[in-house]
Amino acid sequence: MRMTTRILAASVLGLALAGAGLAGPALADDDPATGGVDVSVNIQPTTTPGQLSMTVADNNGVSLQENGSDAAARQFTGTLPTVTVTDTRTPEEIPAGEYWAVVGQASQFVAADDPAKTIGPEYLGWKPHLISDSST
């Protein structure tokens, strides 16, 4: 009985070691001609398309100052928050005849000290300017 136990234990140990070899790390064969290991990797180029995005800077409203008024009209100026448009698309990614634009709209202006005093949006205008340009 003792010999049977030893043979059985040796068989189980042999199977365990053989299984461990199958699950172990893969080994590369050395190339005896060059003395090294041949490793080849194909990396696909990034094909992530560009994006069109727009952000508006945080602000606490627009403060107007009288500037350029005359006898016919009162004129006020102020600075709107910065609008940033980023277009990282390539020319090939933009469909023919498609463009983008920044459009503004306004509601009625109301005096802070007297809500009865208003200026309608038909009297408001804006003159945007380009902060930075890119040829790409």
Give the pLDDT of residue 42: 83
Q: Where are the beta strands (DSSP E) in the chain?
A: 52-56, 65-66, 76-77, 83-87, 109-110, 118-119
Is 81 a domain residue? yes
The domain of 90 spans 51-123
Is 43 a domain residue? no
> What distance in Å separates the CA atoms of residue 74 and residue 24, rounded to the nearest whole number?
84
Is 37 a domain residue? no
pLDDT averaged per 10 residues, the chain (length 136): 51 49 52 70 79 88 86 86 85 86 84 90 82 70
Is 25 a domain residue? no
Is 129 a domain residue? no
Give the pLDDT of residue 71: 92
* 15: DSSP letter: H
Is 88 a domain residue? yes
Give the pLDDT of residue 12: 47
Residue 3: burial class (beta carbons within 10 Å; 0-12, 13-18, 19+): exposed
Is 67 a domain residue? yes
Give the pLDDT of residue 136: 58
Per the CB < 8 A criterion, the answer to whether 119 and 101 are in contact is: no
Is 134 a domain residue? no
Per the CB < 8 A criterion, the answer to whether 75 and 68 are in contact is: yes
Number of domains in the chain: 1
Query: Which residue type sits at 128?
Result: P
